[in-house]
Chains A and B, each alone.
Chain A
Amino acid sequence: MAGALNLLLWRMPQMAITLVLLSLAAWFSIGLMPGDPVSLAMISDPRLTPADIERLRALHGLDQSLIARYLAWAGGVLRGEFGYSRLFAQPVWRVLWPALLSTLALVGTAVLLAAGLGIALGALAALRPRAAPVVDGLALLAQAVPSFWLGILLIILFAVRLGWLPAGGAPDAGHSALPFLVLPVATIAFGQMAGYARHAAAALSAELSRPHITSARARGAGERRLLWHHALPNAAVPLLTLLALDAGALVSGALVTETVFARPGMGKLLYDAVMGNDYNLALLALLLVALVTMLATLLADLAQRWIDPRIGER
């Protein structure tokens, strides 16, 4: 308990500093990119005069330095004012929240499914050496198949040919989201499953050959009990790290799947915000993704300490 508290006390300021540095880096990166909202306005209204352009620059705050604009933004954030999205003309939270929920639903389901299937396959490979080549082959296939390609194959089969599931998009208000989740979840989970299967197979094989397992087996413990009660808890430590890293990375990295399935989410939103010079939205989306990643890592560390208290003592 004290170890977990120490970890939290140590990690929280670290996370805060990381977020500040990240926001600075992102602000300047976006600010130094070519093109700004006024350039876009000039394209849409060619009759703008030089005076109109000056006025628009002032309206968008572009007549001030990047650092002055950053400080104004950071001051607003500290007061709980996250500003408006330029791309959606909405408060950024109103745009971010549905995208975050959509991505968390997608990634959460996919990662849990991938972990469950992967660990099951890994356990099968560890317990039944004859099945190991099949599991290896399946893992190799899952890693080798590009997610966009698998996604489109699934669309062709299940949406276009069989008509069982929607080809993509999001459900209308009041309709079930489940049918819209199946294909994108399957696409992500299939690719992610390989890592879990390989790690689980390796970790469980190593655990199952340890002396305490041999001893337990000699005492008459069944294979199932050996696996779930003796081997898996020890093998879970590296798998938890993998799970945490996957969950964080996928929140922003689901872009390809979200694009193939035309599914609104954080990956697509972050990309559009950066490309569309939407500072408020891009910054908050980026910080949110970073926060999710750091929280997932923190949770994994806490879980590891819970599973193996020796980790905190080292």
Chain B
Amino acid sequence: MRHLLAVLLALLLFTLPAAAQAPRDSLVIGLSQYPSNFHPNIENMAAKAYILGFALHPVTAYDAEWKQSCIACTRLPSLENGDAVLETTPDGKPGIRVTWQLRPDWKWGDGTPVTPEDFRFAWEAGRAFETGLGPAEFYRSAYRFESAGPHSITLHFDKVTFDYAGLGQFQPLPARIERPIWEADRANYRTRSAYETDTTNAALYNGPYRIAAVQPGAGVTLERNPHWGGPAPAFNRIQLRTVENNAALEAQLLAGQIDMVAGELGLPLEQATALQRRTGGRFRFHYNPGLTYEHIDLNLENPVLADRRVRQALLHAADRAQIVARLFGGQQEVAHGGVHPRDAGFDPGIPQYPFDPARARALLDEAGWTSGAGGLRRNAAGETLSFDFMTTAGNRTREQVQQILAGMWKTIGVDARIRNEPPRVFFAETVSKRRYGGAAMFAWVSSPENVPRTILHSDEIATAARNWSGQNYTGYKDAEVDRLIEALPLELDANKRRPLWAGLQRRVATDLPSLPLWHRSDAHVWPQWLDGVTPTGHQNYSSLWVTQWRVR
């Protein structure tokens, strides 16, 4: 249906915006998702992160250069400046004590300063067994909280990792509001929190904006936080409208109901490139490389795919560059592995697999798969070289790519049988419980210099005994990869991490437990009069830097 709608909208080439221009002291942003809650420390979802980026500031975040930076602190902690100190934990393990100096002008929307007590409460609630906030790993590791003054917080961690300076998703919560609610009913805190019951309370927000109105499922209105101590943002009011249907989102943009579409949660790349062709210079389009890695996981327990040469042949036979050029207007980067070329850990020497059908055929011959009747390859036992190829049903782009790839593989004698499932079944049952028989195409979203432990370490193979936790869905096991994954986070020297990253990428790119396709780009659509939006490409979204947005 969306396809047909898009075609109909294409007829609008000649149309002109008839709606009146929005007043320039307000901005209307279209999003394709609505958050399931507004609590900053419960669950992590893109829509919430984008919206709260305007209204709540984390202590640290990755910036547009993919470097850790201070948002609400005065300097990043490091061993050199003494804010981070190596120590031994009470049970004798190597640990680290990290202190963050907070901005003295940091205030909640009711004028009350953000204090260490707000952090202490957030830490206590996160660690409480019965409350169940995420991310569990952070709260497990941060075993002690201290404060040496009104603008200083210190956490003790029971492990030393190179990313110790960042506080990730951990954010302060206004203790004078939230603590009584939590104390009254810890198990139901996630639904009783003021972020859910009193969402428009200004005292819950400490960023340049505060949430002033909420229309469940439809949108959120932000107004300036009068107690914001940083640079003044350009708009008095920002409206975030959720339009889940992409064609409807495009229609509202063309009708002038929304000013811009957030690239982080907006139009699919191919729709945006088509829209750009049709609308000429009416909007500004920006395609930003992101940390969403599209790939195909291969089930290594399938005897057909257990042979590395078969996996390499599949990648050689896939003309990814052509797919990117034809389908995505060349706006995405072909991937050679899970690490993005812009990432500090990227190794330019990683083995690559250019489109080479002859090499693919030779590899299959070498692996004992010879051409047989009907062009399909068979092994000595007479079995055909075939496997199930799955992805999310209803995702038009993926289904299109899947058909193209299956066609390419057919030319080298490989039969990839397409069998798709709705996302809910595909992710919750088939992939996470490793029930896919052959290949599963989907994407990973990561952060800068993210060590892929959950995806590649042999301890992370999802099994029933582990309650299906872990994301090593291919069943990949390699002692050297395990060693590198364990060593990487512990190496604090960035220069010494480089060879570890290189070793990891080369090993994985040779073994190919999954086939890399491309790193997705986000399509940002802005009005011509808007300046200063800086997309990041990772989960610290552009909304965090809204004070830099300006009207031309």
Contacts and interface: CB of A to CB of B under 8 A. Distances in A.
A144 interface: no
Contacts of A94: 216
B187 interface: yes
Interface in B445-478: 454-455, 465-471
Contact of A264 (B215, B247, B256): B215
Contacts of B17: 163
Contact of A89 (B136, B190, B427): B190
Given A88-B217, A262-B245, A59 B255 contact: no
Contacts of A159: 251, 255, 257
Interface in B479-538: none
Interface string B1-34: 1001100110110010111100000000000000
A47 B454 contact: yes
Interface stretch (B38-46, B385-393, B403-411, B541-549): B38-46
B18 A162 contact: yes
B428 A169 contact: no
Contact of A260 (B213, B248, B454): B248
A167 interface: yes
A47 B161 CA distance: 15
Identify the interface centre among B130, B216, B243: most chain A CB within 10 Å of its CB.
Answer: B216
A50 to B, nearest CB: 4
A155 B129 CA distance: 51
Contacts of B80: none
B217 A34 contact: no
Contacts of A59: 130, 132, 187
Contacts of A314: none
B424 A152 contact: no
Interface residues of B, number: 67
Identify the interface centre among A54, A161, A261: most chain B CB within 10 Å of its CB.
Answer: A161
B134 A41 contact: yes
A34 B468 CA distance: 14
Nearest to A89: B37
B255 A34 contact: no
A88 B45 CA distance: 13
A169 B191 contact: no
Contact of B428 (A35, A54, A173): A35
B139 to A, nearest CB: 10
Contacts of A43: 427, 432
A159 B247 CA distance: 14
Nearest to B6: A152
B36 interface: yes
B155 interface: no
Contact of A166 (B12, B196, B257): B257
B255 A163 contact: yes
Contacts of A199: none
Given A34-B424, A152-B247, A169 B252 contact: yes
Contacts of B418: none
B356 interface: no
B454 A46 contact: yes
A53 to B, nearest CB: 4
Contacts of B256: 163
A45 B255 CA distance: 38
Nearest to A56: B132
A93 to B, nearest CB: 12
Contacts of B469: 42, 48-50, 52-53
A203 to B, nearest CB: 35
Interface residues of A, number: 60
B464 to A, nearest CB: 10
Contacts of B135: 45, 47
Given A152-B8, A166-B257, A45 B248 contact: no
Interface in B251-281: 251-252, 254-257
B241 A34 contact: no
A275 B245 CA distance: 16
B54 to A, nearest CB: 17
B471 to A, nearest CB: 5
A50 B466 CA distance: 5
A205 interface: no
B358 interface: no
Interface string B221-265: 100000000000000000101111101110110111100000000
Given A47-B454, A152-B5, A89 B245 contact: no
B248 A261 contact: yes
Nearest to A91: B191
B44 A35 contact: no
Contact of B39 (A42, A50, A89, A169): A89
B15 A35 contact: no
Contact of B427 (A39, A45, A259): A39
Given A54-B467, A86-B36, A88-B36, A173 B213 contact: yes
A84 interface: yes
Contact of A44 (B5, B15, B43, B216): B43
A102 B465 CA distance: 47
A136 interface: no
B342 to A, nearest CB: 22
Interface string A200-216: 00000000000000000
A62 to B, nearest CB: 11
Interface in B28-83: 36-39, 43-45
Given A42-B432, A168-B251, A50 B12 contact: no
Contacts of A44: 43-45, 134
B429 interface: yes
A40 B219 CA distance: 23
A141 interface: no
Interface in B419-434: 424-425, 427-429, 432
A41 B251 CA distance: 33
Contacts of B38: 89
Interface string A77-109: 000000010111110001100110000000000
B367 interface: no
Interface of B: 1, 4-5, 8-9, 11-12, 15, 17-20, 36-39, 43-45, 129-130, 132, 134-137, 187, 190-191, 196, 213, 215-219, 221, 239, 241-245, 247-249, 251-252, 254-257, 424-425, 427-429, 432, 454-455, 465-471
19 contacts: A39-B428, A41-B134, A46-B470, A47-B135, A48-B134, A55-B132, A89-B36, A89-B37, A95-B217, A98-B215, A148-B4, A160-B251, A163-B17, A163-B255, A167-B257, A259-B244, A259-B245, A260-B248, A272-B217
Given A35-B424, A168-B257, 11 more contacts: A48-B134, A52-B469, A89-B36, A148-B1, A156-B251, A160-B251, A161-B12, A163-B20, A167-B254, A169-B218, A169-B243
